[in-house]
Chains A and B, each alone.
Chain A
Amino acid sequence: MEPTKETSHVVELVDILLREGVVVAADVVVSVAEIPLVGIQLRLALAGMTELTKHECFAEWDDTIRGREDADAI
């Protein structure tokens, strides 16, 4: 099988971007998704995140990714 980045993988995108990646801890940092400063409204919003999959934005992103891969393959 080949790896994909499809609209249905929205769970991946949300789970990854809010929880993983480089986190900076320094005096100059004012915002990290892991801490309550940002999370209050954002986490409330997550309860309804299944709606994400219905929006076209992810499809557009998917098309962009695929277009680039197609171009690379040429």
Chain B
Amino acid sequence: MSSERTNPSSPTVTDGRYLYCIVDASDANVSQLSVTGVDDATVSLTTYDDIAVVSHATDQLYDTDDIAQLRRWLVAHQAVIDEVGATFGTPLPFQFDVILQGGDEAVVQWVEANEQRIRTALDEFRGSWEYRVHLKWDRSDVESVVREADDRLQEISQQRAETGEGTQFLLDTQYEERLTEVLETKKASLRDRLTDAIDETARQVTSHTAVPSLEGLDGLDDDTEWVARIAVLADKSDETELGTHLDDIAVHPGVAIEFTGPWPPYSFTPDLVEDS
């Protein structure tokens, strides 16, 4: 079932090709894919030597204010890349909604113009996948531990208990400042430990902003805070070892780790920018 695109003002595209990913097709004798693409489009392979670009034909952009529509598009986009990855190995993934004009010929010309960079990237990522490691903590749980463990906080608490109302406000301020300082130090320490743990297994690591760029999507409760969001490029065979290292971090009180993947190497793809 094809769904209606909800932006009638979107410019039309002349013989467009919506791009999903690029793969090395030399080891797989596959000319067709069983998965359907965005809007149930028929997905096809366009090849240049042993480099294959997975795409579908389109005459419009994909833009919408309909959440359900966007959801279906994103899932379909990822599903195609997952299927291609399972068939051909690690793909070079495109962002959502990257469209070339000019049909298969334009796709081939683009690959030809970027052939060396594409081959280098395919070689570099062969057998490797991206894993996402998100570290969050429950602030109230961590605070409980910190309050017990920090001598200065204990000292301020003791002073507060022994002084009059006028001094308490000052001590409360000192307490909160010290608590913030200790929590920030602990966050930095956790990030360092996480990075050290990951470095043992990763081929490449890159840190994203601690809080997702799309605010309001995280669904965190009031006490939960982001500490780190890291993308890891690792061999599939090292996945279990990576998870074991993460277990060592996850045992800290109040700390939770989300370990997702394998994704195609979204965070590590090189610039494939045609000289213009």
Contact = CB atoms under 8 A, between A and B. Distances in A.
Interface of A: 1-6, 9-34, 37-42, 44-53, 55, 57-58, 60-61, 64-65, 68
A64 B79 contact: yes
Contact of B13 (A9, A31, A44, A51): A31
Contact of A1 (B72, B94, B217, B257): B257
Interface stretch (B95-103, B155-163, B181-189): B95-103
Given A28-B100, A42-B63, 19 more contacts: A2-B240, A9-B260, A11-B214, A12-B260, A17-B78, A18-B214, A21-B95, A22-B21, A22-B92, A25-B273, A31-B16, A31-B62, A32-B97, A34-B95, A38-B62, A45-B66, A61-B75, A61-B78, A61-B79
Contacts of B65: 41-42, 44-45
Contact residues of B: prevailing secondary structure: mixed
B137 interface: no
12 contacts: A2-B239, A3-B131, A21-B98, A24-B110, A24-B272, A24-B274, A26-B274, A38-B62, A38-B63, A41-B7, A41-B65, A46-B214
B99 A30 contact: yes
Contacts of B274: 24-26
Interface string B58-96: 000111111110111011011100100010000011111
A31 B99 CA distance: 5
A64 B276 CA distance: 41
Nearest to B22: A22
A52 B67 contact: yes
A41 B101 contact: no
Contact residues of A: prevailing secondary structure: helix
Contacts of A61: 75, 78-79
A5 B75 CA distance: 12
B101 to A, nearest CB: 5
Contacts of A26: 100, 110, 113, 273-274, 276
A18 B95 contact: yes
B49 interface: no
Interface of B: 6-7, 11, 13, 16, 19, 21-22, 61-68, 70-72, 74-75, 77-79, 82, 86, 92-102, 106, 109-110, 113, 131-132, 212-214, 216-219, 239-240, 242-243, 246-247, 250, 257-264, 266-267, 269, 271-274, 276
Contacts of B94: 21-24
A28 B213 CA distance: 29
Contacts of B260: 3-6, 9, 12
Contacts of B264: 21
A12 B212 CA distance: 9
A53 B216 CA distance: 12
Contact of A20 (B75, B97, B106, B266): B266
Contact of A24 (B19, B246, B247): B19
